[in-house]
Structure 1
Amino acid sequence: MDVQKFKQELIAYSKEIGIDKIGFTTADPFSELKNRLIRQQELGYHSGFEEPDIEKRVTPTLLLDEPRSIISIALAYPSKMKDRVVSKKGERRGIFSRASWGLDYHHLLRDKLKKLEEFIKMKVPDARLKSMVDTGELSDRAVAERAGIGWSGKNCAIITPEFGSYVYIGEMITSIPFEPDTPIEDQCGSCTKCLEACPTGALVQGGQINAQRCISFLTQTKGFIPDEFREKIGNRVYGCDSCQTACPHNKVKNFHFHEEMEPDPEVAKPLLRPILQLSNREFKNKFGDVSGSWRGKKPIQRNAMIALAHFKDESAVSDLIEVLKNEASPVARGTAAWALGKIGGETAFAALEKAKAVETDSAVQIEIEKALSLNK
């Protein structure tokens, strides 16, 4: 088989099926990445969502028998909505980050990778292949960087010359010795706009992030949001785009290549108060197709309460009181208490006093006390 010719056929086919960029690299170990990952764990900067075995994250031979190359793909997603939300006075809305607009990107990337696999198998029936997206063992960004998709920016995102950092990436390990592409030289230069824009200082330095301080990570956790981050979250109900929107390489980057990525404005920028009353089925029906739903409704409801506190939305007091009185989850009750304290008013503080008298969970009691202290 003429591998170079087949590579060109594969590139052409990737364009036919809607892959916006494709790159190739070796299946060599990611030795430099290993040292960085070890250091991140030592510092406690990792999120805990990653593959825990660092060796698997950096050693393709542990994932596929005799791998010879890795294919990286990228799909560009929009940075602006075609259809704008029609807001009415007094209706407060939250926001999902751009990476959670439209259909869950995991499905989109897996579909493209599956089609690539089928094409390769048709041409090379005995080829061994292993594809992965986000939750796989390898670091998507490390593969994309080495395969020439883009460079790893100071904001820890892959930045492409064509689409900025508004890309979804995935990869496929193969037994075919494709010729590797040349990595793209870092083009961040002396710019530090993303570091300056990070609301919580999660970007420790260029290329290093403390995930435990990252709003994108925090909005996906299931426990109480630490006090120091609550007001910084603002009206974000999932994810954060601050480091992306600040990046000069993302200026005027807005691509609408894939219909599935077009957001429903009522999902991407949802009304906050109705989120508090959603049943599991209603949540799945409204948000189940977007990637931001992967942790379930509880984190989204907690974040919505923080957003209502951010807006000091007095119209939400009755909804928050219902959560405080009737919700089974201590995190929900405690966050509702905090939000009531932030919004304030006689009704809110009266409800907090009543809750204080009957609440048995110690964590919620602490939140009620914090909320009541705001009335002094």
Structure 2
Amino acid sequence: MAYEKLKEEIITFSKEIGIDKIGFASAAPFSQLKARLEEQQSLGYASGFEKGTIEERTEPARLMPGAESIIAIALAYPTRIKNGPKSVKGDRRGMFCRASWGTDYHIVLQDKLTKLAEFISGKVEGFVCRSMVDTGELSDRAVAERAGIGFSGKNTLMIAPELGSYIYLGEMITNIPIPPDQPLEDGCGDCTKCLDACPTGALVEPGRLNSQQCLAFLTQTKGFLPEEHRDKLGNLIYGYETCQVVCPYNKGIDLHYHEEFEPDPELVKPRLVDLLTISNREFKEKFGKMSGSWRGKKPIQRNAILALAHYKETSALEELFHLMENDPRPVIRGTAAWAIGKIGEEKGFEKIKKALQTEEDEEVVEEMKKGLAFQKQGVK
């Protein structure tokens, strides 16, 4: 009964510090998840961003000896921008996905978990915990699912019926046996809207994602984006969220519960051309507080180049010429060359031909040839 009372006190305190939903789970091994992760790995579907071994990711006691329970939390984030700048010809804008708006959620959720830990420490002598948000070994989704935060959707995202899937997740392993909550029943039913809308087929079946084909993952890679996916990004320069947008649970959801997550319109919809010449220092100063900056400026710049190609933005050609001819990074030179060809101006093709004569990197040469291929296709 003492732990039931403590649980109620924790729930009450969580509301006071702005946690939107809290749940409790046992720290028993995630046996089903282990088998699934092994299968994901064997199929080549893992992203490579995962931390730790499969055992560490599925056995909480390996991460914290004496683990008894796990506390899961969820915070909602907004989906709409007020007075966002328009993307128009001559002044094209990129777009960071909603999950990257406002202050980096890792910081915000970790702060909530720290306050929660301090509260429990004041109630329980000898309390020990280990908290993590997204970058830890445990699967946030598996913990949240076991703790009754929501159910795992066919789009592989955690869906809380009252909050939708626009939520951040975090968890805390503890050494106290807090009574667990009951998992929710699956709520997707026969709906397949997310699978039908996935432009790359990354959702290979309900609840299974091939990360290597997922556009959200690909926007964070640092190499050349696969050519067959380049035009599918549109103006997104970080993340991709069609599988959330089409979900019926997200219809009408726009929750502005946390000031920290409110978007700065100029940051979440930046001028694409400005991103082409931004320095490392400027990038860090401007975008460093956003979670979408974690991979540095290179993937963002590459995606900005692709977005300009998507728009066939002729006003950006001079900047793209400069990148193709002078940038020291092969991925940026090559992507710029491809984009110049995609835009389809005759002077662009001439520039590619000239740059091709002195280019030594084989991958860049290949991209230049792809750019020139648009001339034969008559792209305009």
CA-to-aligned-CA distance 1:255-305 (integer Å, 9 cap, x gap) = 001001000111111111110010011111221110000000000000000
SS in 2 for 1:237: strand
Q: Residue type of the partner of 2:176?
A: I
CA-to-aligned-CA distance 1:187-234 (integer Å, 9 cap, x gap) = 100000001111111100110000000000000000000111111122
* Residue correspondence of structure 1 range 209-288 to structure 2 within 5 A: 209-288=209-288
Query: Partner residue of 1:301?
Result: 301
SS in 1 for 2:304: helix
Query: Partner residue of 2:128?
Result: 128
Deviation at residue 88 of structure 1 after TM alignment: 5.0
CA contact (8 A) 2:89 2:313 kept: no
Query: Partner residue of 2:69?
Result: 69
| C-alpha separation in 2, matches of 1:325 and 1:211 | 33
| C-alpha separation in 1, matches of 2:249 and 2:13 | 28
Q: Residue type of the partner of 1:109?
A: L
| C-alpha separation in 2, matches of 1:100 and 1:190 | 30
Deviation at residue 125 of structure 1 after TM alignment: 3.2
CA contact (8 A) 2:26 2:70 kept: yes
CA-to-aligned-CA distance 1:128-182 (integer Å, 9 cap, x gap) = 1000010101000000000000000000000001110010000000001000001
| C-alpha separation in 2, matches of 1:16 and 1:206 | 37
CA contact (8 A) 2:152 2:158 kept: yes
| C-alpha separation in 2, matches of 1:62 and 1:215 | 33
The gaps in structure 1 that reach 5 residues or longer are: none
The gaps in structure 2 that reach 5 residues or longer are: none
77-86 or 307-316, which moves further after superposition?
Answer: 77-86
- 1:137 partnered with 2:137: yes
| TM-score with structure 2 setting the length | 0.97
Query: Partner residue of 2:322?
Result: 322
CA-to-aligned-CA distance 1:96-154 (integer Å, 9 cap, x gap) = 11000111000011000010111111111311100001010100000000000000000
Query: Partner residue of 2:43?
Result: 43
Deviation at residue 66 of structure 1 after TM alignment: 1.2
Query: Partner residue of 2:171?
Result: 171
CA contact (8 A) 2:109 2:170 kept: yes
C-alpha RMSD of matched pairs (Å)? 1.0
| C-alpha separation in 1, matches of 2:104 and 2:236 | 18
- 1:109 partnered with 2:109: yes
| C-alpha separation in 1, matches of 2:236 and 2:214 | 12
CA contact (8 A) 2:77 2:99 kept: yes
SS in 1 for 2:122: helix
Query: Partner residue of 1:58?
Result: 58
| C-alpha separation in 1, matches of 2:375 and 2:33 | 50
Query: Partner residue of 2:338?
Result: 338
SS in 2 for 1:119: helix
Aligned residues: 376
Query: Partner residue of 1:19?
Result: 19
CA contact (8 A) 2:86 2:93 kept: no
SS in 2 for 1:270: coil
CA contact (8 A) 2:27 2:69 kept: yes
* Residue correspondence of structure 1 range 23-34 to structure 2 within 5 A: 23-34=23-34
